Chains A and B, each alone.
Chain A
Amino acid sequence: MNWVNAVIQGILLGGQYALIACGLSLAFGVMRIVNLAHGDLAICGAYLGLVLSSALGVPVWVTLPLLLPAAFAAGMALQVLLLGRALRHGVLAPVLVTFGLSAMIENLLQVAATSDPRGLNGGALTLASFTVGSVTVSWLFLAAFLTACAVLSGLQLALSRTSWGRQVRAIADDLDTARLVGVNVAPVFATVAGIAVATAALAGVFIGTIGTFDPLAGTNTLIFAFEAVVIGGIGSLAGTLIGGIALGVTQVVVGEINQAYAVLAVHLLFLAVLVVRPGGLFAAHQAAHEPRRQGALG
């Protein structure tokens, strides 16, 4: 029972969860939308990576300069064509629409790709690892974790230092007033949605390279992303990383004891946090309710 190794692996795994979760957190903080198709979009990213890397005959990393912009554009299109429209029909409409979308995506993937589990070509990175003392670290796992940290830091910097970031935070605080003082909200929403889908797709590529994926994997991916956001605190990017790590460590450590209980343990952790602190560990506010409240981003 190598606890140190398990914890390290858990932390690295947590980075992946944080990566899939950050888009969800950002989208909710700004637009008050929980995109129930978020996990499925990540899996779409994995499938797109599969198509591109097979077509070009390269490891999936090489396809990222194509894949990520495509995912970003898809996110913007989703917002403009679907979610923005849904918002006009009331607070519940985006929830209903994204759930319907999730069902469509999962089943379209099944039609297009069958339900066979797939893996992505990660090239040399998949096989390499290094050992430090009693801990063996796979380069791929480490790359996933570092990528997650880089993305989250980048996002945080963009939010704090750029004009776009200020507008995003202003909208998250008070949409009505932001509009009033001159923020053009629609493009901001579109870019946020684009970032959400792009980060999801990137996470999907890592998921697909590290493990296997199939059309129905989206729902569980969504659930894990959501749990990371809630545990870490709604509206806090740093919290999302902590939340992801909490999930990862729980999953790996319990998995060491009994693999069958690993996922259940993660869900129970989430439910426990829900009971004790529904706002999560880092939330600026305790409320997790939909009606537009003043919330902080960052």
Chain B
Amino acid sequence: MTRDVTSSRDAEPSATVSRWSRTASVSTGAALLVVAFLAVLPYFVGGQAEQPLITLLTFIAMATLWNLLAGFSGLTSFGQQAYIGLGAYGLYLVASHGINPFAGVLLAAIGAAVVSLPVSALVLRLSGGYFAVATLVIAAVFQIAATLSPSVGGTTGVILPGLAGYGDVLREALTYWATLAVAVISVVGVYLLVRRTFGLDARAVSSDPVAAASSGVRVGRIRLLAYVIAAGGTGAVGALIALQTLYVEPTTVFSVQYSVYMLFMVLVGGLGTVEGPIIGALVLFALQETLSADGAWYLVIVGGLAVATTLVASRGIWGFASERFGWSLLPVGYRVRGHDR
């Protein structure tokens, strides 16, 4: 991971180029410990401790995936709720055919990703604000389709089957583990993806698609990959939400509110950084707990803070911190050391 780059001028000292740092090693170690701790938590505590963590972990997954789209690939989608709904209904369909609902989360994710392929053929023709509204249209179409389908309960919705055999404690624990798994896979997956050339390519596409294309970046490929991965991951989140609420109904599961949350978490946390969405999720979670959640005022504040952050501190909390203090817990770029700047 380290290479010596010796320059040809004699007077210059050699510089090392590395991807990693001591801080990163420490923080990765700490993160692994945290995950391990979270994994064994259900053996020691009950549903009361698990519930808020489930909410937080769901937020982390949603935010990380939205950041992959908007932060890294420049795709400002406000229609990800389409895949939350698809994932939720997908889990219902899978569970009503006798498949274990917890295993069904994976199937729902795959289903969402598959559906996103033809959708991407439509929406990825656009970009920027036009892309954003097109994603709203897609979400609206799926919502209408659900209300018009008696097989999934129409406007009334459906109850998630297949969980009768589980006791409450076990069901909650399994839901918790499923959520933890999805959150961890999302963060690790996005991180590994963004560290590779994909990350650079995606950001190049995001800032100037024409320049990127003329440098050989497969613009269409990058955007498609980001879109499908985000769709699949968000589908998993939708399935998890169905597991958590046990009830799937069109207006809640396709609600644009989810997009407002995603916007807030990523903007406040730090657009285009891997650590940012996690910070943003923590902030949203804290806000929700202190403002006793749902209610129109809560959303006004969430929206307002997101707007204010874009105008005043456009790089978000983590963006600001990493620029000011040089922090980087999950490095995606390269560092040059040993060279005076």
Contact = CB atoms under 8 A, between A and B. Distances in A.
A93 B314 contact: yes
B115 to A, nearest CB: 14
Nearest to B74: A92
Contacts of B208: 291
In which size bucket is the chain B interface? 35 or more
Interface string B229-270: 000000000000000000000000000100110011001000
Interface in A69-96: 82, 85-86, 89-96
A12 B328 CA distance: 58
Interface of B: 70, 74, 76, 78, 121-122, 125-130, 132-134, 136-137, 140-141, 144-145, 148, 208-210, 256, 259-260, 263-264, 267, 296-297, 299-300, 302-304, 306-307, 310-311, 314
Contact of A107 (B74, B144, B296): B296
A287 B7 CA distance: 45
Interface of A is mostly: helix
B126 A89 contact: no
B136 A219 contact: yes
A284 to B, nearest CB: 16
Contacts of A271: 122, 137, 141
Interface of A: 28, 33-34, 36, 82, 85-86, 89-104, 106-108, 110-111, 219-220, 222-223, 226-227, 230, 234, 260-261, 263-264, 267-268, 270-271, 274-275, 278, 288-291
A223 B140 contact: yes
A97 B311 contact: yes
Contacts of A260: 148
B310 A97 contact: yes
A288 B126 contact: yes
Nearest to A27: B129
B140 A289 contact: no
A226 B133 contact: yes
B122 A290 contact: no
A103 B122 CA distance: 26
Contacts of A267: 137, 140-141, 144
Given A107-B300, A275-B122, A82 B311 contact: yes
